[in-house]
A and B are shown apart, each in its own frame.
Chain A
């Protein structure tokens, strides 16, 4: 952004399709925590395979590096392969350091917000921290939305911001802004480099903090003088991190786990309520094992989708404001809830005072502040989901193995039948695509169903925010974690395209689709140009209802149909010609009869290496249902325009 007199370097880097990024291990994970294997189930064919070398080489002479070079070297030594960023005056020493090396590739975005979302998408898909680099002032402030997005969803991210030189700080100098101050409420932690010699240890700490405990974004603000190429320092990347004031929980309390097991064994109508923490905590496998062992019904939050296979019969779908009827009914009527890595968000609970009146709650979370914040937990367990669930499963096996009668299987059977009844009664209609009438308007749900069928449920799906996001969450069935990538907590429009790009950089061979709307896509549409530069063949599915659909829905339901500023009065661009001007492929459809063929075209081998933008004209009057009735309990829902639960 606005390079301060330094001029913008045009960095063109060819991006070979075969290049697979990623490191097998992240050296920033603490020794003793085990070498973490980064894997995305089902994607073994495109496993990241980079290795990290320099920190393993010992006994070599200490190198003398400038602050800028140390910063980039420390990123290399932290296992970074991509930096998403935008240069400018205060960051130019750092950019020069990037130019002089090959191991970290810089991706030039078109807006800093997009850089942070790309880093975020990369992190959500891989589990490894994403890295963004921006300049001071407007570069830093543009990054804030992306940092807040990552913060709300607990995504590990490192944001490096250039800062004016130390002697200028506080003088209102050109492109100066207090980045540490502005970002403070939306970071897990932040650092300001005071002396260049701190750079390696600060980078090491930043990665450690971002990736441990409840993950989150960490900002490193780097004044220009600390990256001066003329001043050299001994470069030593710290092998370990020691912070007396930071020690995240590594296991759950065994007494609490015992209590939780006792409670689970009393359950007649149990529900497992699993959120994004299960994915962040790499606990999907053990959760699936535990769920199947107990045969408890399970629901996922918006952030948790994919942590349990959506096509499994025990899966109830998403819960909450736009959750399925059966998931919300099961929650409300349950007697025991096992909450894992979920935070009882207001979009889940509806009115907390009416929340699940008969439920006794076990709450597992790595962040103690999340437990009993909204809904008091009877058995709180502070710890990472994976070891806690492992210990819990072992204890359950021991107890039930010794006495199978402990589990009331017949009550559970009855409970599952009751839930199946709810599903039959008001479950989602998964046949809207098949039932579409040629010549009628295309239902947005049918587009997602078609996407699901054509991609075989295997795609990475990113979304923006609004009706299309909820349709994608409801109708695309995620059987594996890290495939569903959306801004859940902050609800950031403009997230979908750049996050899809971040995923595509991480997994160039994977199918990556961005489900978006004509409102959201225009909030970061400039990144189509970045896609051209790096040859990124993401697929954009635009559910174009010519209105800010979710806003309009609320206005229909709560404001007497007064559509205040939720439509564009024919000002929308011709998306096909727009994407073509960037060098991409655009397809527009308006008839349900063309839907499947068009979708197949988008994902065809012929267009494999092209960005394809499918602009689908969908029914402008469609609402998302179910929808929670404000101020009610979880079982109070609108089921259609005319029905209530």
Chain B
């Protein structure tokens, strides 16, 4: 089962390598990973998605918690949550394709953020599923390049992960 694990950790050199190393060392899988400092620059917030049954996820969260620089670990998928991913797609846009790409972008509430005579760059945000759907809708043949940010997320409601 796919899980979104959110980690609050010290914003220190080497902290990220310990998280990534843990996954490699223990044969856990990282599907996506995103990390950046928070409003408090001494802290980083890391979100990763992984696959595993309950037992594996329990081990992952326990081992993450053991890392000295990790402050909090939350499995967002345990409760109601919001997840977002950002994607930039460079698409071939020549002749009739130009209108088609624009229409598809509108349907997905995506924005064209760069234009040339033969290509559009489209920005899409949403759940990973929505991003996948956009790629299918545009069609692989017209896609020139894709970059995705990986998933970020927060719990719904008033629950927060903080110091």
The residues of A with any CB-CB pair to B shorter than 8 Å are 180-181, 184-185, 188-190, 192, 194, 209, 243-246, 367-369, 372-373
B129 to chain A, nearest CB (A): 32
A180 lies within 8 A of B14 (CB):
yes
Which of B64-72, B83-91, B114-122, B149-157 is found at the contact surface with chain A? B64-72
Q: Which 4 A-B pairs have the closest CB atoms?
A: A369-B62, A189-B68, A245-B71, A185-B25
Q: Determine the distance from Cα of A244 to Cα of B70 in the docked complex, in whole angstroms.
A: 9
Residues of A within 8 A of B17 (CB): 181, 184
B21 lies within 8 A of A245 (CB):
no
A214's closest neighbor in chain B, by CB?
Answer: B66
A370's closest neighbor in chain B, by CB?
Answer: B62
B109 to chain A, nearest CB (A): 39
Which residues 21-77 of B have a CB within 8 angstroms of A? 21, 25, 55, 58-59, 62-63, 65-66, 68-71
A209 lies within 8 A of B65 (CB):
no
B8's closest neighbor in chain A, by CB?
Answer: A245
B163 lies within 8 A of A244 (CB):
yes
B70's closest neighbor in chain A, by CB?
Answer: A245
Residues of A within 8 A of B63 (CB): 369
A209 lies within 8 A of B68 (CB):
yes
A218's closest neighbor in chain B, by CB?
Answer: B68
A373's closest neighbor in chain B, by CB?
Answer: B59
Knowing A245-B9, A245-B10, say if A188 contacts B68 (CB, 8 Å).
Answer: yes
5 contacts between A and B (CB under 8 A): A192-B14, A209-B68, A245-B68, A245-B70, A373-B59
Q: Determine the distance from Cα of A189 to Cα of B21 in the docked complex, in whole angstroms.
A: 13
Contact for A184 among B21, B55, B62, CB less than 8 A: B21
Residues of A within 8 A of B3 (CB): none
Contact for A368 among B14, B55, B62, CB less than 8 A: B62
Residues of A within 8 A of B13 (CB): 192, 194
Is B18 part of the binding interface, using a Cβ–Cβ cutoff of 8 Å? yes
B10 lies within 8 A of A372 (CB):
no
Contact for A369 among B10, B66, B70, CB less than 8 A: B66
Knowing A180-B14, A181-B17, A192-B13, say if A243 contacts B66 (CB, 8 Å).
Answer: no
Which residues 1-18 of B have a CB within 8 angstroms of A? 9-10, 13-14, 17-18
The residues of B with any CB-CB pair to A shorter than 8 Å are 9-10, 13-14, 17-18, 21, 25, 55, 58-59, 62-63, 65-66, 68-71, 163
Residues of A within 8 A of B55 (CB): 372
Residues of A within 8 A of B70 (CB): 245
Residues of B within 8 A of A185 (CB): 21, 25
B21 lies within 8 A of A369 (CB):
no
Most chain A CB within a 10 A radius of its CB, from B13, B14, B68? B68
Besides A246-B68, A369-B66, 7 new A-B residue pairs in contact (Cβ under 8 A), listed by A number = A188-B68, A209-B68, A244-B163, A245-B68, A245-B71, A367-B66, A369-B62
Most chain B CB within a 10 A radius of its CB, from A184, A188, A192, A369? A369
B75 to chain A, nearest CB (A): 15
A191's closest neighbor in chain B, by CB?
Answer: B14
Q: Determine the distance from Cα of A243 to Cα of B21 in the docked complex, in whole angstroms.
A: 22
B158 to chain A, nearest CB (A): 23
Residues of B within 8 A of A189 (CB): 68
Residues of B within 8 A of A209 (CB): 68
A112 to chain B, nearest CB (A): 23
Residues of B within 8 A of A181 (CB): 17
Contact for B18 among A184, A244, A372, CB less than 8 A: A184
Q: Determine the distance from Cα of A181 to Cα of B9 in the docked complex, in whole angstroms.
A: 19
Residues of B within 8 A of A180 (CB): 14
Q: Determine the distance from Cα of A189 to Cα of B66 in the docked complex, in whole angstroms.
A: 10
B73 to chain A, nearest CB (A): 11
Q: Determine the distance from Cα of A368 to Cα of B18 in the docked complex, in whole angstroms.
A: 19
Residues of A within 8 A of B66 (CB): 367, 369
B60's closest neighbor in chain A, by CB?
Answer: A369
Q: Determine the distance from Cα of A184 to Cα of B25 in the docked complex, in whole angstroms.
A: 10
Contact for A245 among B14, B25, B59, B69, CB less than 8 A: B69
Q: Determine the distance from Cα of A425 to Cα of B17 in the docked complex, in whole angstroms.
A: 54
Q: Determine the distance from Cα of A369 to Cα of B63 in the docked complex, in whole angstroms.
A: 6
Q: Determine the distance from Cα of A194 to Cα of B17 in the docked complex, in whole angstroms.
A: 17
A188's closest neighbor in chain B, by CB?
Answer: B68
A291 to chain B, nearest CB (A): 29
Q: Determine the distance from Cα of A218 to Cα of B71 in the docked complex, in whole angstroms.
A: 19
A369 lies within 8 A of B59 (CB):
yes
Q: Determine the distance from Cα of A244 to Cα of B66 in the docked complex, in whole angstroms.
A: 13
A185's closest neighbor in chain B, by CB?
Answer: B25
Knowing A245-B9, A245-B10, say if A372 contacts B68 (CB, 8 Å).
Answer: no
Q: Determine the distance from Cα of A209 to Cα of B17 in the docked complex, in whole angstroms.
A: 19
Q: Determine the distance from Cα of A246 to Cα of B63 in the docked complex, in whole angstroms.
A: 13
Residues of A within 8 A of B71 (CB): 244-245
Q: Determine the distance from Cα of A372 to Cα of B58 in the docked complex, in whole angstroms.
A: 9
B18's closest neighbor in chain A, by CB?
Answer: A184
Residues of B within 8 A of A243 (CB): 68
B94 to chain A, nearest CB (A): 45
Q: Determine the distance from Cα of A238 to Cα of B25 in the docked complex, in whole angstroms.
A: 34
Q: Determine the distance from Cα of A63 to Cα of B158 in the docked complex, in whole angstroms.
A: 50
Residues of A within 8 A of B68 (CB): 188-189, 209, 243, 245-246
A15 to chain B, nearest CB (A): 36
Residues of A within 8 A of B14 (CB): 180, 190, 192
Residues of B within 8 A of A245 (CB): 9-10, 68-71
Residues of B within 8 A of A373 (CB): 59
Q: Determine the distance from Cα of A279 to Cα of B10 in the docked complex, in whole angstroms.
A: 32
Q: Determine the distance from Cα of A623 to Cα of B58 in the docked complex, in whole angstroms.
A: 40
A209's closest neighbor in chain B, by CB?
Answer: B68
Q: Determine the distance from Cα of A545 to Cα of B70 in the docked complex, in whole angstroms.
A: 49
Residues of A within 8 A of B9 (CB): 245
A185 to chain B, nearest CB (A): 5
Q: Determine the distance from Cα of A188 to Cα of B65 in the docked complex, in whole angstroms.
A: 12
Q: Determine the distance from Cα of A185 to Cα of B20 in the docked complex, in whole angstroms.
A: 11
Q: Determine the distance from Cα of A243 to Cα of B69 in the docked complex, in whole angstroms.
A: 9
Q: Determine the distance from Cα of A356 to Cα of B91 in the docked complex, in whole angstroms.
A: 60
Q: Determine the distance from Cα of A184 to Cα of B70 in the docked complex, in whole angstroms.
A: 15
Residues of B within 8 A of A194 (CB): 13
Q: Determine the distance from Cα of A190 to Cα of B9 in the docked complex, in whole angstroms.
A: 16
